[in-house]
Each structure stands twice: as structure tokens, then as C-alpha cells.
Chains A and B, each alone.
Chain A
């Protein structure tokens, strides 16, 4: 029997901090996870949970006053990303690992034609001018942009939001990277355009064999686009599972709260006439500041099930199912779960 292949990306004990006026903010606090070659992994959580800083850390894009702690480990394709010098990490960015941001208007340069910007990625990694231009137009065509040769000569402001996001995807994929990190890639888009972009990403990934780390707060997008999900809260991973297991049996009270808070189309279908819909389940309170993570379980102040152990003992990631872990003492003492009654 052979050992399973090493994952494409292996993150271990990643800790990223920021010096702030209020003290040291531990935005990412000991995060470990893998992404396999060609795999689509979702990273979900609310603002301030550390998901975007995790993404920036992977590409070493954290700038002072932020810093990645020594002791963190990011292994990619067998190499240690944190050991690379500035030149070497630049060769990885855009070529082996690339990133798609939420707001293409701010990520694109307004004074250069979009085709040049895609071509520039190829040039930066050693491609010739002519080859770069051809690959740029071909990549724009693959992203479904009509008349790609014409569009390549246009400026970002001449394109719609959906077109601009296609250009961003072309820039991210033109070097056929092994891993794409997409940070809220569809959040700024209309729902119809979001559906187009998610389909496009899935189609291109299937063709090119690209792995995806999809960062989003939208569990609907996660359900449609990923096979494994990591839930973050207060700088930590609180739950990780295959996507079907997570939605079928979420374990952590935070994950359960997130799922219950999602408004659903069926809410209206179920209502009769003008009758009021039931209240949405909300999670009381808000995420604590990263300068002062509470001791014990960081979610306990918002948790209906919390008991004294949750204040005394920081929960480890318990195994609660096949490839399914949860950072909650309920795994140890399931009888203590308080199920909120429907109001």
C-alpha cells in the first residue's frame, strides 16, 4: 500500500499578527489545513474571522505592521513558501498560485488596456511580448468574453462588472497555476452574473486541473462550488468537513448558527398570503476584537450551549465524523447541547 500523495498546499500552525494601537491583533491564530491538487476547498466565516488574512498570508502579501509568526509553516508543492526570498516568492505568485479579488475595479489598472494587463502576467514570468499578447487573448476567449481581440484593447471602465471579473479570472489563470485563491470573487456582482462567474470558474478548473481555495461568507456559494469546507471563527478553524457532511450535520454551534441565519427562498413559498414569515434565527452579539480573544472557547459568549468548561478549557479540534472535525466540547459531552426553540 502506498502512502497518500502529499497535498498541494499544507498549512501548519499559521499565526499572523498585526501591531495596532489597541495592542497585538492575532488575526490568524494557529490555522492548519491542506488543499489537494485540483481540489475545491471553501473557507467560510464572517468579517473579522481571519479568512482574508489567511489568504494574504499564503501569498506572503501581509505587510507591516502585519507579520507571519516564525513557527508557521506553509508548504506548497513540496517547498516551504515561508523560506523563499523575495524573488522566489514573486515567481510563485501569479504563476503557481494566483489570486482573484472581490473588487476588480480596484485590482485592475485603470490606465492600461485589459489585454495588456493579462499579457503583463505572462511577461512578468518570462514570456515574450508576442507570445504574451496571444496567450492573453486566448485566455480572455476562454473566460467567455466575446470578441476577445477587440476587448483586449479596451480599458477597465469600458467593461461591465461581470466582464471585469472575467478579466481578473483570465489574469489569475493565464499561467495555468496549480492553485487559485479567490477572495469573495462574486460578492460585488449581481446574482445572475455571479451564477455565470461561478460556472466559468468550475468549467476552467475542470479543464486546467486547478485547485481552488474559495473564501466567502456565502454558504450558498460554498454549497455550489466546493467539495470541502473550513469554517473560521475568531482567528481559528472551528469546523472542517466534506461539504455534504457539513450541510447534513453541522456540529459547531457557530456553523449551525450561520446556517440557521440564512434567509431562504422557501421562506416566502411556505408563507400563505400576507402572513408574516417566522423570525430568522440570528446569532446574538458580534465577533470579539482580535486584540482580545477570550480565554476558553472564543464563541462561548454567543453560544446557547456554553457551560463552565467552555470558559475554563480552550476546545481542541475534536473528530466528529469521517474527515469531520469541530472545535467544541459538545463532541465530548453531546448531552449538553441546547437546541434553540423556534420562536
Chain B
């Protein structure tokens, strides 16, 4: 197939059957068990799920911050898992990571300006006065202003530190950013500021985001598509509006109904999911969600084999054998 024969361009990021297993004391932990998705340039795919579902490991495995056990990651046609150390370093400039707690990644003795400058120097993008100018421009772009260059991390609020984290990520002119819970430690008013900033930057710079979050309401605001993960697998994947309007998986429906609604006159949440997610060292047989599944259609078939992620309607994928 040639490029001109298809209306949709090749995705910027193509992930296929990505796996990451750790050997732990209690046996092998299958943190990521065969994750596949495409992400088009300029879009935001949200990875959502409860703690331990593998969403953070997936993001890090794509960037090879942890080495995947198996699978394939293609970025703009590059076979990422096949890159040697030098090529990997050059490729990494095109990708960045924003953390939940930027404080942990900032050196307390280094000024904000020096922290932002670091990436420019490591990748030989600018030096001397040119680098100084870039640093000040970046601080302005993220809404901090030039005055912050001489300040230290402890002088900043949580929201300001997250803006520093964003400025550091932008310094190397990336195309793709993995945002790992970037606003979950922030107060709601500051959270809104940072979400708006990330969206402005995406529009202005054509950035592509993999947005890892547990908060479905935040995700509702930023994502073009949403992948719901459970115990190392994607169990549902759909365009955002579609997923929020017509979720297929009982797990997705339970997640959505558990979100507290800021309206005291609204009906209380419907399904309260019982229990905790099972251990990734000993995942249950068949559908990994079946022990907690509240769906009346659940039966012995659900325990027999792992349901494949199938396209149930155009663009809407789900891993449930009870769903036609």
C-alpha cells in the first residue's frame, strides 16, 4: 500500500504486543501483557486504569526507560526496540517524559534556569548566550516568566514546579511526550491551568501526547482516544467521546460510575465495584476482570480463555466475549 492510496497517514507511534515481565519474589510479575495501539501525530491517547494496571510501565517501556520483554514499537517508521545505544540517545530527543512529581526530578541546589538549560546542553542544541535566550523563552512559554530563571525548586508551588517540568521537556523540541499523571498532585484550580497549558502547547507545537492518568474526568478533557487498562492489558479502546457515551466493558462502566459527580442532586453512583484488582503475579484464568465483573451475562466461558481485543463497532475495541 502506498501513502497516496490511503486517506489516513501512518501513525506517529505504533505499538504491537508490548510486554514487560519482572521476576519478583512471588513469581513473575506480568506488568504489561501484550499492549497494542496506534497514535496519530497531534493526537492524545489516554491510558487509564487503577494503580498497578501497567499504564506507567507501558509509557516507560515505549521510551525504553524500562526494557520491554517483547513486542514492537515503531516511531515515525523507526524500529525503537532495535536501536543501539547511540541511536537510542538521538531518538530520545524526539520524545520526553513529564512526571507526576517534578520536585523529585529537580536538583534542589540547581536554579530553575540551569535545570531547563540542561537538556539543551546534553543534546548540543544551544550554548552560551543562545542557550540563555532559549531558557528565558521557554520559561515564558510555560507561563512562568523570565524572573524564575534564578529561583530554586523549593521556592516554587506545585503548579509552578510542574510548569518547570514542562519547560524542561520542551527544551529539546520533542514531537512526542509521555505525560505520566501530570496533574494528579495539583489542586483543582492549578490542575486546570496546567491542563490548559498542555493543550495550548499541543496546538501551537503539534505535539503528540500519551497521557497516563487515573482520573477519568481529567482525561475527558484532554484525550482524543482512550485506552482502558486492567491488569496489564488494554480491555477497551475507543475515540474519547465514544468511550464516555457508550462504554462497552463492564469494567469501564464501573470506572465511570465511580467518579464522584460534583452535583448533590445527581443520583449516587450506580455500580460500586467490589474488591481490589487481582495480583499481576497470579492473574485469574480467562478474562482477567471476571472475578469482579458485575455483568449478569458472566458465565463459565469467561474463565476459559483470554478474550481478544476486538473491534466491536468501527474504531471501538473491547475485550469481552459477551459483547457481540
Contacts and interface: CB of A to CB of B under 8 A. Distances in A.
Interface of A: 46-47, 160-163, 190-196, 198-199, 217-224, 243-244, 247-248, 257-259, 261-274, 276-277, 279-284, 286
A195 B188 contact: no
Contact-size category for B: 35 or more
Contacts of B244: 265, 268-269
B199 A191 contact: no
B276 to A, nearest CB: 4
Given A265-B261, A269-B244, A286-B190, 11 more contacts: A46-B188, A47-B158, A194-B260, A219-B188, A272-B241, A273-B241, A274-B43, A277-B222, A279-B199, A280-B192, A280-B196
Contacts of A263: 191-192, 195, 215, 217-218, 220-221
A282 B193 contact: yes
Given A47-B187, A268-B221, A219 B192 contact: no
State the main secondary structure of chain B at its contact with A. Answer: helix
A244 B266 CA distance: 10
A266 B241 CA distance: 9
Contacts of B259: 191, 220, 265
Contacts of A262: 188, 217, 262
Contacts of B187: 46-47, 217
Chain A CB within 10 Å — which of B218, B254, B262 has the most?
B262
Give the one of A221, A223, A277, A282 with max B CB within 10 A. Answer: A282
B227 interface: no
Contacts of A162: 276
Interface stretch (B14-22, B104-112, B267-275): B267-275
Contacts of B272: 192, 195-196, 199
B216 interface: yes
B241 A218 contact: no
Contacts of B172: none
Overall SS of chain A's interface: helix
Contacts of B256: 265
A223 B263 contact: yes
Contacts of B51: 161, 190
B189 A218 contact: no
B292 to A, nearest CB: 9
Contacts of B224: 274
Nearest to A202: B268
Contact of A160 (B189, B216, B263, B276): B276
Interface in B268-312: 268-269, 272-274, 276
A243 B264 contact: yes
A220 B190 CA distance: 17
B258 interface: yes
Nearest to A46: B187
B157 A286 contact: yes
A193 B275 CA distance: 8
Nearest to A195: B258
Contacts of A261: 188-189, 191-192
Contacts of B160: 286
Contacts of A286: 157, 159-160, 190
A41 B187 CA distance: 20
Contacts of B196: 279-280, 282
A195 B273 contact: yes
A192 B273 contact: yes
Nearest to B220: A268
B178 interface: no
Contacts of B262: 219-220, 222-223, 247, 259, 262, 264
14 contacts: A46-B189, A191-B50, A191-B214, A196-B272, A196-B273, A196-B274, A223-B266, A257-B189, A261-B191, A263-B195, A269-B245, A277-B221, A282-B196, A283-B189
A267 B260 contact: no
Contacts of A258: 188-189
Interface string B215-243: 11111111110000000000000011101
B159 A224 contact: no
Which of B219, B257, B264, B269 has the most chain A CB atoms closer than 10 A to its own CB?
Answer: B264
Contacts of B50: 190-193
A35 B72 CA distance: 58
B264 A244 contact: yes
A195 B274 CA distance: 10
A194 B214 CA distance: 12
Contacts of A264: 217, 220, 262
A147 to B, nearest CB: 13
B263 A247 contact: yes
Contacts of B191: 261, 263
B313 interface: no
Contacts of A199: 272
Given A163-B276, A192-B50, A280 B221 contact: yes
Contact of B260 (A46, A218, A279): A218
Nearest to B202: A276
